[in-house]
A and B are shown apart, each in its own frame.
Chain A
Amino acid sequence: MQFEESTIKNALVVRVHESRIVADVAPQFKEGLIAYVTSGNKNIVLDLSEVTFIDSSGLGALIGSLKAVGKDGQLVLCSARDAVVNMLKLTRMDKVFHIFGTPEEAASALS
């Protein structure tokens, strides 16, 4: 599982270099995201532009990461493709995650 980090305003933007977030990679995905939280990042934007598919295991990893951020920080999503957005809607998790169109929009909202 590879991530690419950049900073926009005061947000850490994490781009996921993985096309499918499914059961065999979900543990590493969650572990990687939680590492950003435990190293002190409070405002995290997860760029999902390369993710073409996510299953319930991947969704669980996202939920676990959001919980790890807690009330003192924020984890939001951006650039999600239709398949990912539809999965979030199907499971009603679109009500839980904030989804922005671009990393810049997401970072601005966290500022």
Chain B
Amino acid sequence: MKRLTLEIESNLSNVSLAAVAINAICAYAGLNQDKANQVELSLVEAMTNSIRHAYHGEPDHRVIVTITLDKEHLHFDLYDTGAPMHVEQVDRLVRGHGIVESENLDLASIAEHGRGLGIIHRTMDEIVYSREGSQNHLKLTRYLAPNR
């Protein structure tokens, strides 16, 4: 098992630094480029949510991502100490409730926001959210085998 912890301050401009590192780690773990991009996208959405929604965009807070690689999994444990996720958001993220599978293609009805949780739900194999004291803990797992 190998482990690395990344920490960024809660400024959206820091997310890309962590994201490109995560993409490289996905490639190191054996994921092909398309799947590495998917995982990077999920982690970008998750870190952005922490900054925007848990910390309400306030600077000077920490977002921590611990990456654990074993033979069959790539685990990402995200921690922040911001506001907890709402129950409806957890349902959307973990169980996919409320994700529109086939949006009406009428442009006027297409939302500009609100796709982040659905993207994470569709691209990660396991999603667990927990509130641990004053901390949010989001555990995202991507399987590595058999078809990486």
Q: A residues engaging B (CB < 8 A)?
A: 20, 22-24, 53, 55-57, 59-61, 63-64, 66-67, 82-83, 86-87, 90-93, 95-96
Number of B interface residues, CB 8 Å? 32
Contact of A96 among B40, B102, B107, B113 (CB under 8 A): B107
- In the assembly, what is the distance between CA of A95 and CA of B12, in Å? 29
Enumerate chain A residues within 8 angstroms of B68, measured Cβ to Cβ: none
A91 and B51 CA atoms in complex are apart in Å by: 22
Which of A63, A86, A92 lies in contact with B34, CB distance below 8 A? A86
Residue of B nearest to A64 (CB): B112
Interface residue stretch chosen among B41-49, B85-93, B126-134: B41-49
Within 8 A of A (CB), among B41-61: 41, 44-45, 48, 51-52
In the complex, the answer to whether B116 meets A86 with C-beta atoms within 8 Å is no
User: Is the CB–CB distance between B33 and A91 below 8 Å?
Assistant: no
Asked if B119 and A90 sit within 8 Å, CB to CB, the answer is yes
Q: Chain A interface secondary structure, helix, strand, loop or mixed?
A: helix
Residues of B at under 8 Å CB distance from A?
11-13, 15-16, 19, 33-34, 37-38, 40-41, 44-45, 48, 51-52, 102-103, 105, 107-108, 110-113, 115-116, 118-119, 122-123
Is B15 in contact with A22, judged by CB distance below 8 angstroms?
yes
Q: Establish whether residues B16 and A83, one from each chain, have CB atoms under 8 Å apart when the complex forms.
A: no
- Give 14 CB contacts A-B under 8 Å: A20-B16, A22-B12, A23-B48, A24-B12, A24-B15, A57-B48, A59-B115, A60-B115, A63-B112, A64-B112, A67-B110, A82-B34, A92-B103, A95-B105
| A96→B110 contact, CB < 8 A | yes
Q: Which residue of A lies closest to B117 (CB)?
A: A56
Residues of B contacting A91 in the complex (Cβ-Cβ under 8 angstroms): 115, 118-119
Answer whether A22 and B16 are a contact pair too, CB < 8 Å, given A67-B107, A96-B105, A96-B110: yes
The minimal Cβ–Cβ distance linking A68 to chain B, given in whole angstroms, is: 11
Instruction: Give A11 to B23 CA distance when docked, in angstroms.
Output: 36
- Structural contact, B41 and A55, CB atoms closer than 8 A: yes
CB neighbours of A23 from chain B (8 A):
12, 15, 44, 48, 51-52
B63 to chain A, nearest CB (A): 13
B37 and A86: CB pair below 8 A? yes
CA distance A61 to B37 in the complex (A): 20
Q: What is the distance, in angstroms, from B10's C-beta to the closest C-beta of chain A?
A: 12
Given known contacts A56-B119, A96-B107, A22 and B44 CB-to-CB distance under 8 angstroms: yes
